[in-house]
Structure 1
Amino acid sequence: MSDDGLEIPVLLSEEQVAEFLSANPEFFRDRDELLSKLTIPHQRGDAISLVERQVSVLRERNADLRERLNNLLSIARDNDRLFERVRRLVLSVMEAQTLDSLIDAVDDSLSHDFRIEYVNQFLVSDIFPGVSRVDCYPKQEICSNVGISDLLDGNRVVCGKLREKELKFLFPNHWKLVKSSAVVPLHCQRPLGVLVVGSRDEEDFRVGTGTVYLSFIGEVLSRALADFIPVKSTSETSAPEKI
C-alpha cells in the first residue's frame, strides 16, 4: 500500500508465472477467451496461438517417436537376418563329417552368407598334424605373429586395425587391402587355432565393435574342431574324421 492509500500492483516474474502454470495445468480449462488471446513467438518471427504451438510441439514429438520406432524396427530386422545367417552356419558346421568339410562350411558361410571379404583359419599344428586344407603353425608362432601372447588361451575376440607384420601373416594374399579385422580364438579345453575375418572398410571391425555373434561362432567352431582332433595310436595317427 502506498502513502496515498492506493494499491501498487505486484509484478510477477516469468519464473513465478511458469511455476504457477506448471502447478495448475487446468488453469485455462474455463478461460477460452483468455487462451485465444495468448500468442507465442515462432522461430520465423510470426506470432502463433498457444493451441497452434501445442499442436506443433505434439507433431514434433510424434515425428521423433516415429523415427525412434522405425530405427528399432530396422535394428530388429537386421538382428533377424543376422540370426538366420548364424543359424545356417551352425547347421552346416553340425553336418560336417570331415575336417575339410568343416573348414569349407565356415569359409563358405562367412564369405557368401555374411559377405565378409577376407576369411582365414589357422590351426595349431601340434593338435592337427598333417592338415593341408589350412595353414597350421605351432601355438607360439601364431601368437607371436598376431602380436597377442595369450590370444589362444581365452575366448576374447580382438577387433581393430592390425600392424603390417600381423596382416602379412593373417592375410598373406590381401594384406594391403585389409583395413579392419577381427581375430577369433578357437579354444576348447586347449588352444586349437584362430579364425580371422577382414574388410576393406575401417568401420566394419573397428575397436569397440560388438563381438557377441563372432564369439558365438568361435565357440561353435571350436567345439566342432574338437571332434576332429586325431586320435594317436602306437603305430600311426588316424585321419581327422568326426568322432
Structure 2
Amino acid sequence: MDSANPKKDGLPSESEVARYLRNHPGFFLNNEDILAELKLTHQTGKVVSLLERQVEILRERNMDMRGRISNMLDNANRNDQLFERSKKLILNLIEAKRAEELSNILCRHLVNDFDDIDYASLILFADPSRLGSSVLRVVSPEQAQQQIGSLLRSKKAICGVLRAEELSFLFGKHADHIGSAALMPIQAGNLDGVIAIASKNPQHFKSSMGTLFLEYIADVVNRCLPKLMKGPFL
C-alpha cells in the first residue's frame, strides 16, 4: 500500500494509478469515453478538459523551448563574434615588429574590439633603465611585488574588484573610473609581466567568470614577445 496515498474502499492509490498509466500509455486510446469525461482545474480556477490542458502544456513547453533556442543562438552569435575579434587580434600581434608595437596593438584592440573593456595595459617586470621606452611600460620586479604581489602569487588569471592602490599601479590616471578588472600574469621567455584589462562596470569582471580568453591571449603574447626583445634578460 502507498503510505502517501492510502487505499480507500479497496481502490488503488493515486501513485498506483499513475504507475499503471505510465506503463500503459495506450489506455485512453481504448477508452476514449473516459478521456472525454476527464476535467481539470486550471490555475485560474476554471475547469477545462484534459485535451485543453494538454494543449496549454504543449504551448508552454513550446514557448520554453523557443526561449532556450533563442538563448543558444544568442550565445552562438556572441561566440562567433569573440572568435573573429580574437583572430584579428592574434594575427595583428603576430605581425608586430617591435615590442612597443605589440603592446600598442594589444591594448588598442582589447579596448576597441571587445565589449565592456574600457582600459587595458601590458606591464613588463625588468630594469627600466635597460628596457624602458616611451610606449612600453616597464617596472622593476621589486616594485611589482610591492604593489600587486598578492595578485601575482597564484600565477593565474584574477577577476573582480581590486584595491585602489592596485588599480592605480595597473591603470594609472584611469584608476578612479574603473569598476572591475582582470589580470593575467605572463612569462615571455625569462621576462615576467602582466596583462590587465578593466571595465567601468563594477559587475562585468567577477571572480566567478571564466578566464579562458585572457589565458589564451597571454599565451600568444608569451610566444610573440621574446622574438621582439633584445638583451640578456630573455
TM-score, L = length of structure 1: 0.85
Amino acid in the other structure paired with 2:56: S
Taking a change above 3 Å as real, the CA distance of residues 149 and 79 of structure 1, as seen in their structure-2 partners, is closer
Q: Runs of at least 4 residues of structure 1 off by over 3 A?
A: none
Amino acid in the other structure paired with 2:76: A
Residue pair 1:124, 1:136 contacting (<8 A) in 2 also: yes
Q: Kindly report which structure 2 residues correspond to 1:74-223, keeping only aligned pairs within 5 A, or say none.
A: 74-115=74-115, 116-126=117-127, 129-148=131-150, 150-151=152-153, 154=155, 156-223=156-223
Percentage of identical aligned residues: 34
SS of match in other structure, 1:185: strand
Q: Which whole-Å CA distance do the structure 2 matches of 1:72 and 1:140 have between them?
A: 47
- Equivalent residue for 2:15? 15
Amino acid in the other structure paired with 2:178: V
- Equivalent residue for 1:4? none
Taking a change above 3 Å as real, the CA distance of residues 72 and 149 of structure 1, as seen in their structure-2 partners, is closer
Larger Rg: 1
Taking a change above 3 Å as real, the CA distance of residues 218 and 136 of structure 1, as seen in their structure-2 partners, is same
| Stretch of structure 1 that moved more, 45-54 or 12-21 | 12-21
Residue pair 1:180, 1:198 contacting (<8 A) in 2 also: yes
Gaps of 5+ in 2: 1-8
Q: Which whole-Å CA distance do the structure 2 matches of 1:229 and 1:97 have between them?
A: 10
Residue pair 1:147, 1:166 contacting (<8 A) in 2 also: no
Q: Which whole-Å CA distance do the structure 2 matches of 1:130 and 1:174 have between them?
A: 21
SS of match in other structure, 1:171: helix
Work out the number of aligned pairs and report it.
225
| Stretch of structure 1 that moved more, 123-132 or 32-41 | 123-132
Q: Which whole-Å CA distance do the structure 2 matches of 1:167 and 1:150 have between them?
A: 14
TM-superposed CA distance for 1:150, in Å, is 4.4
TM-superposed CA distance for 1:214, in Å, is 0.7
TM-superposed CA distance for 1:189, in Å, is 4.1
TM-superposed CA distance for 1:20, in Å, is 2.1
Residue pair 1:179, 1:199 contacting (<8 A) in 2 also: yes
SS of match in other structure, 1:221: helix
Q: Which whole-Å CA distance do the structure 1 matches of 2:192 and 2:78 have between them?
A: 31
TM-superposed CA distance for 1:85, in Å, is 0.5
Q: Which whole-Å CA distance do the structure 1 matches of 2:132 and 2:110 have between them?
A: 25
Taking a change above 3 Å as real, the CA distance of residues 150 and 198 of structure 1, as seen in their structure-2 partners, is closer
Residue pair 2:98, 2:229 contacting (<8 A) in 1 also: no
TM-superposed CA distance for 1:203, in Å, is 1.8
Gaps of 5+ in 1: 1-8, 238-243
SS of match in other structure, 1:173: helix
Amino acid in the other structure paired with 1:119: A
Residue pair 1:139, 1:191 contacting (<8 A) in 2 also: no
Amino acid in the other structure paired with 1:40: L
SS of match in other structure, 2:25: coil
Taking a change above 3 Å as real, the CA distance of residues 149 and 214 of structure 1, as seen in their structure-2 partners, is closer
Q: Which whole-Å CA distance do the structure 2 matches of 1:218 and 1:144 have between them?
A: 22
| TM-superposition CA deviations, 1:132-164 (whole Å, max 9, x none) | 31321112321321132744x84x111111111
Residue pair 1:157, 1:182 contacting (<8 A) in 2 also: yes
Residue pair 1:179, 1:202 contacting (<8 A) in 2 also: yes
| TM-superposition CA deviations, 1:171-205 (whole Å, max 9, x none) | 22021111110111111343431111111111211
- Equivalent residue for 2:6? none
Larger helix share, 1 or 2:
2
Taking a change above 3 Å as real, the CA distance of residues 149 and 10 of structure 1, as seen in their structure-2 partners, is closer
- Root mean square deviation of aligned Cα: 2.3
